[in-house]
Amino acid sequence: MLARLAPTPSGFLHAGNLDNFRRTQAVARDASALLALRIDDADATRYRREYVDHVFEVLDGLGIAWDVGPRSTEEFESAWSQRHRTAEYRHRVGDLRDSPVETYACTCSRSDLAGVPTGGCPGGCRHHGGPLVPGVSALRVHVPVGTVVAVGGHEVRLDEELGDFVVWRRDDLPAYQWVSILEDERLGTTHIVRGQDLIASSAAQVFLARALGITSVVDATYVHHPLILDGQGRKLSKSTLGREGVTS
Ligand SMILES: [Zn+2]
């Protein structure tokens, strides 16, 4: 069994990330599971080495030890970075064509998408059958109306919560949902611990994993915990300015 810490190096960590690390460690300990460090840099377009340095500093400060994963920023960049596997993620997109899910290339611009509450495609691209072209289109998975996914004790109406979600981005990088499924399959993750803001993401991943026959991701134990909020009741977000968010 295995649980993973999965920070994204697109900013310095904040108190919410630290809380997630502690909760993940507790879940792993209670389940006698191994703990892995998985740094999700596949689509981190704001990547900076300092953000990875910070992950190691924070884990050291919290006294959290892990069994699988890089031990330093140098080791991460040379041997563990997901950027080394972009071609593999791209190759696996081919699996979707043989699966029951329907995919389509979406050319809608960011401004077209702004008015769509679920982030789905507003332009009817699904019916146009256009090609996937880097810099021009993103690959979306169609979520039929009425799709319900049970995950972590929640029943998620995926079409309403997320809509047709992206698996391959317009900038020719794999989307978070796609990388997360393939990396959890690779690691053999059995326990996935996330904030409650990611319940719909978990549902999307179970939806896709089921269609692809990735049973380990379908059968994993999902724990969604409350978020730490700021003084205005908003969820904390990554700071790209400094490390002041992690003094607690
Ligand atoms: Zn579209």
Q: Which CATH code for domain 2-246?
A: 3.40.50.620
Cβ count within 10 A of residue 188 = 14
Report helix angle 86-97 to 199-212, nearest 10.
Answer: 70
Expressed in angstroms and rounded, the spacing between residue 8 Cα and the centre of ligand 1 is: 27
Expressed in angstroms and rounded, the spacing between residue 43 Cα and the centre of ligand 1 is: 21
Expressed in angstroms and rounded, the spacing between residue 50 Cα and the centre of ligand 1 is: 36
Confidence of residue 111 (pLDDT cuts 50, 70, 90): confident
Report the chain's mean pLDDT, rounded to a whole number. 92
Expressed in angstroms and rounded, the spacing between residue 93 Cα and the centre of ligand 1 is: 19
- What pLDDT score does 116 carry? 59
What is the sign, positive or negative, of the torsion defined by CA atoms of 110, 114, 118, 122? negative
Q: What is the pLDDT of residues 204-230, one digit of tens each?
A: 999 999 999 999 999 999 999 999 888
What is the token pair recorded at 189?
């993750």
Q: What is the pLDDT of residues 4-21, one digit of tens each?
A: 999 999 999 999 999 999
**3-state class (DSSP) for residue 104:** strand
Expressed in angstroms and rounded, the spacing between residue 124 Cα and the centre of ligand 1 is: 6
Expressed in angstroms and rounded, the spacing between residue 210 Cα and the centre of ligand 1 is: 25
- What pLDDT score does 146 carry? 95
Confidence of residue 201 (pLDDT cuts 50, 70, 90): very high
Q: What is the pLDDT of residues 23-62, one digit of tens each?
A: 999 999 999 999 999 999 998 899 999 999 999 999 999 9
How far is it, in rounded angstroms, from Cα 212 to Cα 97? Answer: 10
Are 31 and 3 contacting, i.e. CB atoms less than 8 angstroms apart? Answer: yes
Give the full edge-to-edge strand order of the sheet including 191-195.
34-37, 2-5, 191-195, 221-225
How far is it, in rounded angstroms, from Cα 58 to Cα 80? Answer: 19
What is the token pair recorded at 120?
């789905």
The percent of residues in the chain predicted with pLDDT above 90, rounded, is 82
pLDDT value at 22 more than 50? yes
Give the DSSP per-residue string, 140-179.
EE---TT-EEEETTEEEEHHHHT-SEEEE-TTSSB-HHHH
- What pLDDT score does 21 carry? 98
- What pLDDT score does 241 carry? 59
Expressed in angstroms and rounded, the spacing between residue 65 Cα and the centre of ligand 1 is: 44
Expressed in angstroms and rounded, the spacing between residue 100 Cα and the centre of ligand 1 is: 21
Q: What is the pLDDT of residues 131-189, one digit of tens each?
A: 999 999 999 999 999 999 999 999 999 999 999 999 999 999 999 999 999 999 999 99
- What pLDDT score does 189 carry? 98
Are 139 and 101 contacting, i.e. CB atoms less than 8 angstroms apart? Answer: no
| Mean pLDDT of the region 98-106 | 94
- What pLDDT score does 240 carry? 62
Please state whether 115 falls in left (phi above 0), alpha (psi between -120 and 50) or beta: alpha
Expressed in angstroms and rounded, the spacing between residue 122 Cα and the centre of ligand 1 is: 6
Confidence of residue 248 (pLDDT cuts 50, 70, 90): very low
Expressed in angstroms and rounded, the spacing between residue 62 Cα and the centre of ligand 1 is: 44
How far is it, in rounded angstroms, from Cα 123 to Cα 115? Answer: 11
- What pLDDT score does 158 carry? 96
Expressed in angstroms and rounded, the spacing between residue 108 Cα and the centre of ligand 1 is: 4
